Amino acid sequence: MWGAAPPKRFGDFQFRGRYLSKNSSGATIVGLDIGTTKTCAVVATATSNGLDIIGVGEAPCSGLRKGVITDLEETVRSIEAATEKAERMAGVNISHVYVGVTGEHVRSTNNRGVVAITGEDREVARNDVRRVVEASKLIDVGNDRQIIHTLPWHYTVDGHDGITDPIGMSGARLEVDTHIITGGNTFITNVLKCVHRAGLEPAGIVFEPLASSAATLLAEEKHVGVVLLDIGGGTTDIAVYSGGGAIHTSTIPVGGNILTNDIALGLKTTFVEAESIKRTIACAINEPTGEDFSVKTLDGRTTKTVTRAQLRAIVAPRLHEIFRMAKTALTTLPRDVMLAEIVITGGGAHLRGIEQAASEFFGLPARIGVPTAVGGLTDAVKQPEFATAVGLVLFGPKGDGAIWHAGKSRSPFSGIAAWFGDLWN
């Protein structure tokens, strides 16, 4: 929707610096994924080959529902526990963190910006690119929301489209198509409040599917056309890439925990037993073999026998419902977008048979996405549930999710506290 210039509620200055903590061997970058089931902090350090993971800390978290904070104290406790573990492993003091955000309050849209190329030689300069991206942000986001990301997709110079880097090209008119992601102020404020109360400074915020994509998707996949589904505990985050850039991002308020609930209700057992059954026995597809298994009743005193078919009749329909919701989100894609693959990540990707189930449902080849593109302690993070946290260190410093704050800060780190003023306490 076209409208007035975006409101700049937190002042007219966006800090774009990289926030780095220090250790004895140099600067480090920290990602903080505050999830519905766990908080995960990942510490990375830059090397000549890219990023090396030097520390990982994980702690259970029950302070969120559907990606949104419902219990500040519990969330703060979880952040403290996860970052302390990461600090110990990495041997650094963590100060600044790139924070993941998700939840139904996050929305995305595509927009176009247009400017005249003004330089004397009519060559596109860096400033023209900056101006056209700013022009694409002229959408009415409402008073209770802010833009989190503006991701340029393609540039067009004098009608020639599909340009990824227009700098130096000659022309009179520069256009850009951008993917714009907005979030609800109060939801974001609560996340940042928890980060701050845990003694940390937010370096930037990143919509979580962008982070998960940075950790798991290959450049080639993003070019050809790919859907990422990050099935977490309480949310399923979606990102679609085509032509090298993000063209759709969204989140649905259901994740793998609903399968556990359904198993507990369907088999009349405890959540602990249901979670264990989901992780060890449940399967998303029709298995030709598989023995019956015994399940503890709610009081834990007796057991009953359940067949694999009974379990599948609980799990498969719910998984298909999650897939259906994701497919509905994809109906908003432009008709000419071609998709060649689906990548499943997040802890929910561990469900046995999910690759085949997703492939059959979406009619696309499917694979499980685990974090790649990093070195160092890769064994500690080579699981789908670490995709977001690893992606935060990859995407955070490069992304545009730096935090809005009031006034031009004196030091890189002093402004953020001023920005939210007394909101923190």
Ligand X SMILES: Nc1ncnc2c1ncn2[C@@H]1O[C@H](COP(=O)(O)OP(=O)(O)OP(=O)(O)O)[C@@H](O)[C@H]1O
| Site of interaction with ligand X (CB under 6 A) | 35-38, 67, 232-235, 255-257, 260, 275, 278-279, 346-348, 350-351, 385
Whole-number minimum distance, CB 207 to Mg ion, in Å? 12
Assess 371 for contact with Mg ion (CB under 5 A). Answer: no
CA 136 to chain centre: 23
Beta strands 68-69 and 13-14 are: unpaired
Q: Show the 3-state SS of 285-352.
A: CCCCCCCCEEEECCCCCCEEEECHHHHHHHHHHHHHHHHHHHHHHHCCCCCCCCCCEEEEECHHHHCE
Q: Which does 233 bind (CB under 5 to 8 A by kind): Mg ion, ligand X, none?
A: ligand X
Site for Mg ion in 372-391 (CB under 5 A): 388
Whole-number minimum distance, CB 232 to Mg ion, in Å? 3
Whole-number minimum distance, CB 32 to ligand X, in Å? 12
- Residue from 35, 171, 184, 234 binding Mg ion (CB under 5 A): 35
Stretch that binds Mg ion, among 115-123, 145-153, 229-237, 416-424 (CB under 5 A): 229-237
| Residue with smaller CB distance to ligand X, 386 or 419 | 386
Helix (H) or strand (E) holding 218: none
Angstrom distance (rounded) from CA 82 to CA 86: 6
Q: Which does 396 bind (CB under 5 to 8 A by kind): Mg ion, ligand X, none?
A: none
Whole-number minimum distance, CB 423 to ligand X, in Å? 23
Residue 49, CB-side half-sphere exposure with 13 Å CA sphere: 6
Whether 244 and 220 have beta carbons less than 8 Å apart is answered as no
**DSSP state string for 21-35:** EEETTEEEEEEEEE-
| Residue with smaller CB distance to ligand X, 80 or 385 | 385
For 238-276, give one letter per residue: b (16+ CB within 10 A) or e: bbbbbbebbbbbbbbbbbbbbbbebbbebbebbeebbbb
- Residue from 63, 113, 209, 232 binding Mg ion (CB under 5 A): 232
Whole-number minimum distance, CB 356 to ligand X, in Å? 15
Whole-number minimum distance, CB 81 to ligand X, in Å? 14
Stretch that binds Mg ion, among 30-38, 162-170, 297-305, 394-402 (CB under 5 A): 30-38
Q: Which does 190 bind (CB under 5 to 8 A by kind): Mg ion, ligand X, none?
A: none
Q: Which does 260 bind (CB under 5 to 8 A by kind): Mg ion, ligand X, none?
A: ligand X
| Residue with smaller CB distance to ligand X, 212 or 409 | 212
Whether 259 and 315 have beta carbons less than 8 Å apart is answered as yes
Stretch that binds Mg ion, among 11-19, 32-40, 118-126, 317-325 (CB under 5 A): 32-40
| Residue with smaller CB distance to ligand X, 115 or 229 | 229
Angstrom distance (rounded) from CA 220 to CA 117: 31
Q: What angle do CA 136, 138, 141 make, to 5 degrees?
A: 120
Q: Read off the DSSP letter of residue 422.
A: G
Whole-number minimum distance, CB 389 to ligand X, in Å? 9
| Residue with smaller CB distance to ligand X, 135 or 357 | 357
Whole-number minimum distance, CB 71 to ligand X, in Å? 14
- What token pair was written down for 116? 């005249």
Whole-number minimum distance, CB 371 to Mg ion, in Å? 13
Q: Which amino acid is at 34?
A: I
Using CB atoms within 10 A of its CB, is residue 379 exposed (0-12), middle (13-18) or buried (19+)? exposed
Q: Read off the DSSP letter of residue 2.
A: B
- What token pair was written down for 174? 């520069």
| Residue with smaller CB distance to Mg ion, 192 or 416 | 192
Name the phi and psi angles at 378, rounded to 5. -70, -30
Q: Which does 108 bind (CB under 5 to 8 A by kind): Mg ion, ligand X, none?
A: none
Give the residue closest to Mg ion by C-beta.
232
Q: Which amino acid is at 44?
A: A
Question: How many residues are there in the chain?
Answer: 425
| Residue with smaller CB distance to ligand X, 256 or 401 | 256
Q: Which does 225 bind (CB under 5 to 8 A by kind): Mg ion, ligand X, none?
A: none
| Residue with smaller CB distance to ligand X, 35 or 152 | 35
Whole-number minimum distance, CB 29 to ligand X, in Å? 20
SS3 114: strand
| Residue with smaller CB distance to Mg ion, 231 or 306 | 231
Angstrom distance (rounded) from CA 22 to CA 28: 6
Whether 228 and 248 have beta carbons less than 8 Å apart is answered as no
Which residues of this chain interact with Mg ion, rule CB under 5 A? 35, 232, 388
